[in-house]
Amino acid sequence: MSAFSVDNTPYKIALVCAEPSGDMLGSGLVKQLLRRYPNAQIKGIGGELCQAQGLHSWFDMNELSVMGLFEVIKHLPRLLAIRKSLKQQLLNFQPDIYVGVDAPDFNLPIEAFLKNKGIKTVHYVSPTIWAWRESRVHKIKRAADCVMGLFPFEAPVFAKYHVNYEFVGHPMADAIDLSPDKSSARKRFNLGDNESVVALLPGSRGSEVQQLLPIFLDSLEQMQVNQPNIKAIIPAVNAARESQILKILAHYPNTVVDNVLVTREVARTAMIASDAVLLSSGTATLEAMLCKRPMLSVYKMSGLTYRMMQRLYKPKYFSLPNILANEPLVPELLQDDVDPSVISHYMVNLLTLSDNLTIDEANDAYGDVELIPVKSKGSCLFTIDSNRLTYILSRFTQLHYNLAHDADNQAANVVAQYLSQPQSKIVK
């Protein structure tokens, strides 16, 4: 396979990430592409991880990390300004291909714009058309020559609409051991093997941390009533989040502060070191599943966004492990049910059960699932005993196997296929 474009010049590859999870996915792809094409120019937007692998970023990725349907509105002028400037930068760059990593609301319009000008486009991470607004598939088809997806259940949806779709697997499934070493992870934090440890992951965006971290810390304070020696690890995705976390933590009593470690260590190390994980729903739930840790997943959004999502969202669950398994493996708390009293009760139970349990002990034995009535539509709580926990961990392993496909390399293969195809002349 040639390392050069049809005019015998090094490939120009544009790649745009808009948030930390996309930065992680994009960085692996950038690394693999530069292994194949060492002289390639890769430019666009990315965070610290993509830049470390060789991406030249034209803008600060953090400016694009906005969540929620209505939360976007106040940032819209700046987002539109960045997108307008980015389009011109891309036309000046004249890439051989554009890879939009996730962030469909930002990336798909750019992909459509470039595709109309003869530039090949690939969208990495399928928009959640399987969850809500399936009609978006027509917009995706117009924008992207190909969609690279992370989950096998997505393929039939795209096949129905004759959209080119490639399941590449999930890079995290390749990066995390099937049986993570808890003891080694604890040594990174100077934690003993017998200590009770919970990982707290309130999210990677500033708005998520501001909303959820106080609830998580209130929950920890209540947990300490039953288990005074509980330690908590809070991984911060970047320096801005670390500063924000420390400012919020400063308002809590010493009994909480003295037992909390805020770290820039990667989240998965914190998860592996823990006995249980309390986290915001999203990619982090998948990572906790791959780390084989019991968890409680919560999600809270603005009232307007929540009311709209109630009408549009189709799946029974919102946590990725539950969606992948099509059964309740992860307890979920949604919106008004995100309450410190409920959280603390659940987490103490998970900590107690997981204290001496290893993944090697997970087998097919499981107890009955008892659903607990809750106020808010969509919350999914159920009792977890030791047998049920072993079943959950065994299912986590099965799902891990299903997602491990050497994703970074597979994604690079797809991009390489499109790079090798002739390209129309770019219109500025």
In which band, very low, low, confident or very high, does the pLDDT at 366 lie, cut at 50, 70 and 90? very low
Say if residue 300's pLDDT is above 50: yes
pLDDT band at 4 (very low <50, low <70, confident <90, very high): low
pTM over 0.85: no
Judged on CB neighbours under 10 Å (0-12, 13-18, 19+), 232 is buried
Band (65; pLDDT cuts 50, 70, 90): low
| Cα 56 off chain centre by | 23
Cα-Cα-Cα-Cα dihedral sign, residues 399, 400, 403, 404: negative
Closest listed residue to residue 16, CA positions, set 113, 115, 101, 124? 101
Contacts of 397 (CB under 8 A, 6+ apart): 178, 292, 359, 362
Asked whether the beta carbons of 188 and 273 are under 8 A apart, the reply is: yes
How sure is the predictor about 64, in pLDDT bands with cuts at 50, 70 and 90?
A: confident
Amino acid at 155: A
Residue 398: its pLDDT value, please?
Answer: 95
Distance, in Å, from the CA atom of 93 to the CA atom of 40, rounded to the nearest integer, reads 13
Distance CA 427, CA 166 (A): 28
- For all residues of the chain together, what is the average pLDDT? 87
Alpha-carbon gap, residue 158 to 163, rounded angstroms: 5
Question: Residue 234: beta bridge partners?
Answer: 262
How many whole angstroms separate alpha carbon 199 and alpha carbon 272? 9
pLDDT (tens digit per residue) in 399-408: 999 999 999 9
User: What is the sign of the dihedral through the CA atoms of 260, 280, 77 and 73?
Assistant: negative
- Pick from 211, 204, 220: which is nearest to 259 by CA? 220
Task: Identify the burial level of 258 via C-beta atoms within 10 angstroms of its C-beta, where 0-12 means exposed, 13-18 middle and 19 or more buried.
Answer: exposed
Beta bridge partners of 279: 201, 297
Rounded to an integer, what distance in angstroms lies between the CA atom of residue 43 and that of residue 89?
10
Q: Is 360 exposed, middle or buried (0-12, 13-18, 19+ CB in 10 A)?
A: exposed
Region 329-351 average pLDDT:
91
Using the structure block, give the residue that is written with the tokens 């992680």. Answer: 24
CA 311 – CA 131 distance, rounded (Å) = 11
Residues 6+ apart with CB under 8 A from 7: none
Chain centroid to Cα 228, Å, comes to 32
Same topology, domains 12-169+405-419 and 175-403? Answer is yes
CA distance 104 to 140: 9
Q: Domain residue spans in the chain?
A: 12-169+405-419, 175-403
Q: What is the CATH number of domain 175-403?
A: 3.40.50.2000
| 12-169+405-419 topology per CATH | Rossmann fold (3.40.50)
Greater confidence (323 vs 68) lies with 323
User: What is the structure's pLDDT at 379?
Assistant: 77
Beta-bridge partner residues of 382: 371
Query: Does residue 393 contact residue 359 with C-beta atoms inside 8 Å?
Result: yes
Give the pLDDT score at 283: 86
Identify the CA nearest to 233 among candidates 247, 249, 254.
Answer: 249
Smallest CA-to-CA distance from 253 within 226, 221, 210, 228 is with 221
Angle between the 283-290 and 386-403 helix axes, to the nearest 10 degrees? 100
Read off the tokens for 418. Answer: 């499109």
Question: Which residues of 50-186 form beta strands (DSSP E)?
Answer: 56-60, 97-101, 120-124, 146-149, 165-167
- pLDDT, one tens digit per residue, over 72-99 is 566 678 788 888 999 999 999 999 999 9
Higher pLDDT among residues 77 and 154, named by residue: 154
**pLDDT class of 233 with cuts at 50, 70, 90:** very high
- Quote the pLDDT of residue 316: 78
End-to-end C-alpha distance for the chain, whole angstroms = 29
Tell me the backbone φ, ψ of residue 240, rounded to 5 degrees. Answer: -65, -45
pLDDT of residue 135: 84
Lowest-confidence segment of 69-73, 176-180, 202-206, 207-211 by average pLDDT: 69-73
Answer positive or negative: Cα dihedral of 24, 139, 99, 238. Answer: negative
Q: 84 is written with which tokens?
A: 């307008």
Is residue 7 very low, low, confident or very high in pLDDT (cuts 50, 70, 90)? Answer: low
